Amino acid sequence: MLRELVANGIEGLPHPDAMVTYGAKNSIERLKGTAIVPDDIYTYYSFDELKEHFPKSLKKGVRVLKQNRGSTGERIWRVELKNPKKYQGAIPLDAELKLTEAKDNHTETKILQDFLEFCIQYLEGNSGMIVDMPFLERIKEGEIRILMLRDKVMNVVHKKPASSKDAFSATLFSGAKYRYDTPEKWPDLVQLAEGMVPIIREKLGNYDIPLIWTADFILDTDKKTGKDKYILGEINASCVGFSTHLELSDNIADEVLDLMDAESVVNNKWGAFTK
């Protein structure tokens, strides 16, 4: 329905396709080749791809598997081998895994074969997919969310996972602690993120940048230089928690008015609608 409205001249903020594209878990894979995502990040759309490639990823180290639907850490799994030193060659299907779900940091044990089969549910349907990325252990220092208004960082939220042994989740319900900062407190990250916006826009299909969206970063250490670097974990572009940032409502209203003015110049259907 939203697509039809947009096709008939109503401005979508953002366009529903942009919302879906930015918010899909594979958006970070589409940014491969840029400095803000790891090189070994993969998306699986079929069981065959998952079964063929995931054991190879696991050989490299601890991984995070993310399914496309759901949020707040549900069905986001940290996956590690119970005995990584045991295997010289390929990881066998009966290898024991320790699994931690980001929803509540609870752990489970499964053999690889059973876990792969368990993941089939995440591949079902049109938007079924699983993203596979390295586990970034500096998540314990926190996940840093930037709240974006179009191409500007408006707010920063530092989310520190609970301090319990297995905790890696930055979601509120799992016990993470949130701190709200102004962008001035994070000059390097703000500069990096705002500088990346044109590249993100291009790589994600050249849509108008969403009105309100967020990007979540986790610190990593550059192997060559030993310096800190920020890695993008996910983008959210729908149901972003604007209700908790009411102080930004003036900025958002201004942005919407500017857009309406700009749109009325190029879109004659829109002009009629605003009368």
Ligand X SMILES: Nc1ncnc2c1ncn2[C@@H]1O[C@H](COP(=O)(O)OP(=O)(O)O)[C@@H](O)[C@H]1O
For 128, phi then psi, to 5°, come to -70, 130
Of the pair 26, 171, the CB lying nearest ligand X is at: 171
Q: Does 153 bind ligand X (CB under 6 A)?
A: no
242 binds ligand X (CB under 6 A): no
- Smaller CB distance to ligand X: residue 154 or 215? 215
Contact flag: residue 240 with ligand X (CB under 6 A): no
The pairing of strands 177-181 and 96-101 is unpaired
For residues 63 and 76, the answer to whether their CB atoms sit within 8 Å is no
Q: How many residues bind ligand X (CB under 6 A)?
A: 21
Per rule CB under 6 A, is residue 18 in the interface with ligand X? no
Please identify, using beta-carbon distances, which residue of 183 and 233 lies nearer to ligand X. 233
> Nearer to ligand X by C-beta: 72 or 107?
72
Contacts with ligand X in 35-64 (CB under 6 A)?
A: 64
Residues in region 197-236 near ligand X by CB under 6 A: 216, 218, 233-234
Residue 14 in the binding site for ligand X (CB under 6 A): no
Using rule CB under 6 A, residue 168 touches ligand X: yes
CB 62 to ligand X: min, Å:
8
Contacts to ligand X from residues 109-138, by CB under 6 A: 133, 135-136
Q: Which of 171, 186, 193, 235 binds ligand X (CB under 6 A)?
A: 171
- Looking at 72-80, 149-157, 250-258, 265-273, which segment touches ligand X (CB under 6 A)? 72-80
Backbone angles phi, psi at 87, to 5 degrees: -110, 120
- How far apart are CB 103 and ligand X at their closest, in Å? 8
Which residue lies nearer to ligand X by CB, 68 or 183?
68
State the Cα–Cα distance between residues 174 and 74, nearest whole angstrom: 11
Taking CB atoms, the residue at the shortest distance from ligand X is: 170
Restricted to residues 74-103, the positions that interact with ligand X (CB under 6 A) are 76, 102
23 is a contact residue toward ligand X (CB under 6 A): no
Q: Which of 5, 34, 52, 72 binds ligand X (CB under 6 A)?
A: 72
Among residues 33, 71, 30, the alpha carbon closest in space to that of 207 is found at 30
State phi, psi for 29 to the nearest 5 degrees.
-65, -35
Q: List residues binding ligand X (CB under 6 A).
A: 64, 66, 71-73, 76, 102, 133, 135-136, 139, 143, 161, 168-171, 216, 218, 233-234
